Amino acid sequence: VDPNIQYDMEKLQDTFPGFRQQYRLIKRIGEGTFSTVYKAEDLVYDQYDNSWDYDKENDKWAPPPLRTYGRNSNSSVTARPRRKPKYVAIKKIYVTSSPTRILNELDLLHDLRGCTSVCPLITAFRETDQVVAILPYFRHADFREYFRKMTPTDIAIYLRSLFTALESVHRHKILHRDIKPTNFLYDPSTKRGVLVDFGLAEREGSECKPCLCHEDPTTRRNRLRTAHLSSSVPHNGYPKQDTRPSRRANRAGTRGFRAPEVLFKCTEQTTKIDIWSAGVILLTILSKRFPFFNSADDVEAMIEIATIFGVKRMRQAGQLHGCMFETSIPTIGMQGFSFERIILWSTCRDTNVKMPEDEKLAVEFLSRCMDLDPARRISAEEALNHPFLQMGLE
């Protein structure tokens, strides 16, 4: 065992009185920007199997037969059979996280208790500035190990589980903000998944500054019609003296998974940002490339998206939020490419050979998730009724 990890585990056990009596730390399973997660055994959980069984032969209910444990008669004990050990995930939130942020995560998880496919919160402890959250341990595989082998049906089952979680979260008017493979724990053998990590999540409408994308269609049409007449911005360039206030918006999330409206600094972001990120996961699986987007910053991210969608659609997407989109990069075309083409290229297939029907359906669903306009993008509820996710119903 790495001595640093061992040291951190000892320290954690010493922080909370009675910790060692309740949990046995096993190993570190995750280390992120905001927390370290450990696998542990819950020792206080009823270790003995109390369940009575119906004894057919004697026509009565009976407790499980006693069993003797231990090798020699001096030290052996006779007891009820032990249950399978119960494992938990202990999320140690870094003390550098702000108290409001920590409370926010626990508060949202509490609201979402009982939601299918969302990892429930068992309890949480605080000792001075250290907070730990206790979650049931969920066995899962590393995304990179299975995503290249998935058939369209496997993908539909995987996404059905992810969108079931998203539907619950969005029904509670909560934006997860960090949908990506490491935050959706999936077990390909049981075909079950749970959504974790509400560290960046927020309630819809937390930012109250209105964005143009929420104005009604007539007002928008009139604005766009007169925009080129009144604009002080030269048509083909950036203004020399830009006196406009700089835009600020929540940009939390992970590089490569940020929705276009996040990049355009929309101040009225909705749950649709999670749908875009789920779409990026689907694009990753279909193209068999991870990470699909690999930008270092928001400008590069915009260039990557523009390469697929083309200048024309990017301009329209920007206008929704009152932004201009201009580029002189030669590889960004006017029209962009279809997702079908992008996927055929990424998987080194002949673009003249037809795609199988079930994969085509997946691509059609992808285009609904990765719609540049958040208002037109499919919702989680609608997604569950889409023929592609219906394929995931066993």
Q: Going residue by residue from 47 to 86, which x/- string records binding to ligand ADP, judged by CB under 6 A?
A: ----------------------------------------
Q: Specify the pairing of strand 184-187 against strand 192-195.
A: antiparallel
Cβ–Cβ under 8 Å, residues 355 and 286: no
The closest alpha carbon to 87, from 123, 38, 124, 50, belongs to 38
Q: Minimum distance between the CB of residue 256 and ligand ADP, rounded to whole angstroms?
A: 15
CA 28/CA 6 separation, integer angstroms: 9
| End-to-end CA gap in the chain | 42
Burial of residue 279 (CB within 10 Å: 0-12, 13-18, 19+) is buried
- Catalytic choice (8, 46, 178, 371): 178
Q: Minimum distance between the CB of residue 303 and Mg ion, rounded to whole angstroms?
A: 26
* Segment near Mg ion (CB under 5 A); pick from 60-68, 82-90, 136-144, 177-185: 177-185
Tell which positions 23-52 bind ligand ADP, by CB under 6 A.
29-30, 32, 34-35, 37
Nearer to ligand ADP, 132 or 383 (CB): 132
Angle at 326 between CA 321 and CA 327, to 5 degrees: 140
Q: Minimum distance between the CB of residue 36 and ligand ADP, rounded to whole angstroms?
A: 7
Question: Which of Mg ion, ligand ADP, none lies near 37, with the C-beta cut-off 5 to 8 A by kind?
Answer: ligand ADP
- Near ligand ADP by CB under 6 A: residue from 152, 188, 199, 322: 199
* Segment near ligand ADP (CB under 6 A); pick from 52-60, 69-77, 95-103, 195-203: 195-203
Strands (E) across 14-128 are located at 23-31, 35-42, 53-55, 60-62, 67-69, 77-79, 87-93, 123-127
Q: Going residue by residue from 196 to 215, which x/- string records binding to Mg ion, judged by CB under 5 A?
A: -x------------------
Element (H, E) at 184: strand 184-187
CA 383/CA 275 separation, integer angstroms: 9
Nearer to ligand ADP, 94 or 315 (CB): 94
* Segment near ligand ADP (CB under 6 A); pick from 161-169, 193-201, 311-319, 374-382: 193-201
* Segment near Mg ion (CB under 5 A); pick from 2-10, 192-200, 299-307, 333-341: 192-200
Q: Is 183 in the site for Mg ion (CB under 5 A)?
A: yes
Q: Minimum distance between the CB of residue 133 and ligand ADP, rounded to whole angstroms?
A: 8
Is the peptide bond preceding residue 99 cis, with omega within 30 degrees of 0?
no
φ, ψ at 103 (rounded to 5°)? -60, -40
Q: Minimum distance between the CB of residue 180 and Mg ion, rounded to whole angstroms?
A: 8
Q: Is 271 in the site for Mg ion (CB under 5 A)?
A: no
Tell which positions 104-143 bind ligand ADP, by CB under 6 A.
119, 135-138
CA 294/CA 99 separation, integer angstroms: 32
* Segment near ligand ADP (CB under 6 A); pick from 64-72, 179-187, 217-225, 249-257: 179-187
SS3 state at 378: coil
Whether residue 178 lies in the annotated active site: yes
Q: Minimum distance between the CB of residue 190 and ligand ADP, rounded to whole angstroms?
A: 14
The closest alpha carbon to 282, from 123, 136, 170, 166, belongs to 166
CA 151/CA 148 separation, integer angstroms: 9
Strands (E) across 200-318 are located at 202-203
Q: Which residues bind Mg ion (CB under 5 A)?
A: 32, 183, 197
Task: Give the residue numbers marked as catalytic.
Answer: 178
Q: Which residues bind ligand ADP (CB under 6 A)?
A: 29-30, 32, 34-35, 37, 89, 91, 119, 135-138, 182-183, 185, 196-197, 199
